[in-house]
Amino acid sequence: MSQEIEAIKAKLNIVDLIGEYVRLQKAGNNWKACCPFHNEKTPSFSVSEDKQVWHCFGCGKGGDAFGFLMEIEGLSFREALENLAQKTGVELPKYSARENITNLEKNKIEDILEEATLFYEKQLWETEGGKKILEYLKGRGLEESTVRDFRLGYAPDGWRNIAQFLVGRNYKIGDILRAGLVIHKEGKSQEIENFYDRFRNRIMFPITNPVGKVIGYSARIVPGEDESQAKYINTPETEVYHKSNVLYGIDKAKMSAKEKDWILLVEGQMDVIATNQAGIKNTVAVSGTALTLEQLSIIKRYTKNIRMFFDMDEAGQKAAKRSAQLAFDRELNVFIVSIDEGKDAADAVKEDVQKFIKAIDGSVVAMNYFIEKTLRGRNKSDIEDKKKIIEELSGLINSFSNKIEREHWMREVAERLNISESALREAQFELYQSKQ
Ligand SMILES: [Zn+2]
């Protein structure tokens, strides 16, 4: 393996690789930048073109090209090796028989999904059915360049469009099944007639991993068609698609999130796309699930600050609270963006970009937001109201895994309610007991 590592290093210039992630400036023999791994205002991150290494004098991190990629993308050594081997065209020997098969298979699925995405894009731009969808997307305020950027597509109506296209490209139907693109009729043999397309007559939103490879789709029903069907259907769990760690838009958001040191979390893919078009690139959405710990650890690679923009309706607010609690547990800083009732991010952007950007700039510390919300319309000197307030806020306070933060909010809530901390603790304890 060391031979291949050397071959990769010989073909790769570390300055080009790191330059894809940080803005490097020439400084004497070396290159300098603000470190992507810690917060700083004056550059102490240095890259040596001669030695092909990097080092940060601020946080002490450093290494070669592999180490940089592992650190910045959160990859294992093997993943970084594969990534750079592909980039430089160096062929890697078989690792262990088993691991090799898994990697080969994984690549095959990714190839299939790439071909499928190109197919769906072509259908959107070059067919009559596609034109209708383009009009709908434009009606929602999307520009053509945005549609292309996010690689939106159209899965035409019919039972075997994608199946036949991919089989025609010499892919096996079993592999197309493993990519999640077709459904197998139960108990039937492996003939193509016994499979049918999962996505039919739908707008296709490709979902990518952090390095930009398509791993699956979220597919929206064509507006005006049989709306009794599910509005969105997603790729099922496959070898490359795991819904608990999908973050829609992460490939486009990550660098900007790192630069700005915050990320915007919205509810749906249309919200991500519209927000991107408005110039806010550091935006992601969870796709058809509640926020998970896996998603939070991906976000944490890039920033510790999350601004959440959820619908102002009850469901949206509940999701915001739940997501915030999970983030408190993971020691992330949460801010809430609030805007006039009932609007999602996509609508808000379409209506008034400046107002939307202002709302994001004016996001407030999540706990303050929840405290305000809980106190609103309640009488702090009424004993029943007071109990309800304590009950609602206790869950939030207790979700902080950091003791200092927990203490801080305990004190804050006691002050706002005009009671002592010990009285607040006692009340919490009573509530806890009454529930046992
Ligand atoms: Zn550093």
In this predicted model, what pLDDT tens digit does every residue of 22-73 receive, in sequence order?
A: 888 999 999 999 888 887 778 999 999 999 999 999 989 999 999 999 888 7
Closest CA to 395 of 313, 329, 310, 299: 329
Span 214-236, pLDDT tens digits: 999 999 999 887 777 888 999 99
* pLDDT digit string, tens, across residues 95-146: 554 555 566 677 789 999 999 999 999 999 999 999 999 999 999 889 999 9
Listed residues 241, 274, 296: the one ending a domain: 241
Q: Are residues 51 and 17 in the same domain?
A: yes
How remote is the CA of residue 54 from the centroid of ligand 1, in Å? 10
Residue 373 alpha carbon to ligand 1 centre in Å? 39
235 shares its domain with 305:
no
Q: Which of 216, 241, 266 is the last residue of a domain?
A: 241
Rounded to the nearest whole angstrom, what is the distance from the C-alpha of residue 34 to the centroid of ligand 1?
8
Output the CA 340–ligand 1 centroid distance in Å: 40
Domain check: are 145 and 233 in the same one?
Answer: yes
**Average pLDDT, integer, range 273-282:** 94
Query: How many angstroms separate the alpha carbon of residue 55 from the centre of ligand 1?
Result: 8
Asked if residue 332 belongs to a domain, the reply is yes
For ligand 1, the distance from its centroid to the CA atom of residue 44, given in whole angstroms, is 7
Quick one: three-class SS letters along 343-409? CCHHHHHHHCHHHHHHHHHCCEEHHHHHHHHHHCCCCCCCHHHHHHHHHHHHHHHHCCCCHHHHHHH
Q: 156 and 283: one domain? A: no
Let me know if residue 95 belongs to a domain.
Answer: no
- Within this chain, do residues 114 and 56 fall inside the same structural domain, yes or no? no
Q: Is residue 202 part of a domain?
A: yes
pLDDT in tens, 137-189: 999 889 999 999 999 999 999 999 999 999 999 999 999 999 999 999 988 88
Name which of 175, 181, 240 is nearest 209 in CA terms: 240
Q: Are residues 363 and 398 in the same domain?
A: no
pLDDT at 380: 83
13-27, 74-88, 213-227, 339-353: range with lowest mean pLDDT: 339-353
| Cα–Cα nearest to 416, from 359, 366, 374, 361 | 374
How many domains does the chain contain in total? 4
Per-residue pLDDT at 347: 84
Q: What pLDDT is attached to residue 288?
A: 67
* Residue 256 within any structural domain of the chain: yes
Which CATH number fits the domain that encloses residue 268?
3.40.1360.10
Q: Give me ligand 1 centre to Cα 53, in Å.
A: 14
Domain with 416 in it: 377-434
Both 357 and 389 in one domain: the answer is no
Domain match, 331 and 422 both: no
Residues 179 and 283 grouped into a single domain:
no
62 Cα to the center of ligand 1, angstroms: 9
Cβ atoms of 159 and 196 closer than 8 Å? yes
- Give the CATH number for residue 25: 3.90.580.10
Find the 33 Cα to ligand 1 centroid distance in Å.
10
Q: Do 356 and 388 belong together in one domain?
A: no
What's the pLDDT score for residue 154? Answer: 98
311 and 180 within one domain:
no
Domain boundary among 241, 262, 292: 241
Question: For a pLDDT cut of 90, what percent of the chain falls above it?
Answer: 56
Q: Assess if residue 93 is contained within a domain.
A: no
Q: Is residue 236 part of a domain?
A: yes
- Measured in angstroms, how far is the CA atom of residue 37 from the centroid of ligand 1? 5
Q: Are residues 305 and 400 in the same domain?
A: no
pLDDT bin (cut points 50, 70, 90) of residue 290 is: confident
**pTM of this prediction exceeds 0.75:** yes
pLDDT (average), residues 282-306: 87
Provide the strand spans (E) within 193-304.
Answer: 195-197, 202-208, 214-221, 232-234, 263-266, 283-285
> Does residue 207 have a pLDDT over 90?
yes
Which residues, including other chains, have CB under 8 Å from residue 120's CB and lie 6 or more apart? 153, 154, 155, 162, 204, 206
- Taking the centre of ligand 1 as the mean of its atom positions, its distance from the CA of residue 256, in whole angstroms, is 17
Q: Do the domain assignments include residue 94? A: no
Centroid of ligand 1 to alpha carbon of 46 (angstroms): 9
Measure 361 CA to ligand 1 centroid, in angstroms: 27
Residue 393 within a domain: yes
The CA 50 to ligand 1 mean position distance, Å, reads 21
The answer for residues whose C-beta is within 8 angstroms of residue 168's C-beta and 6 or more apart is none
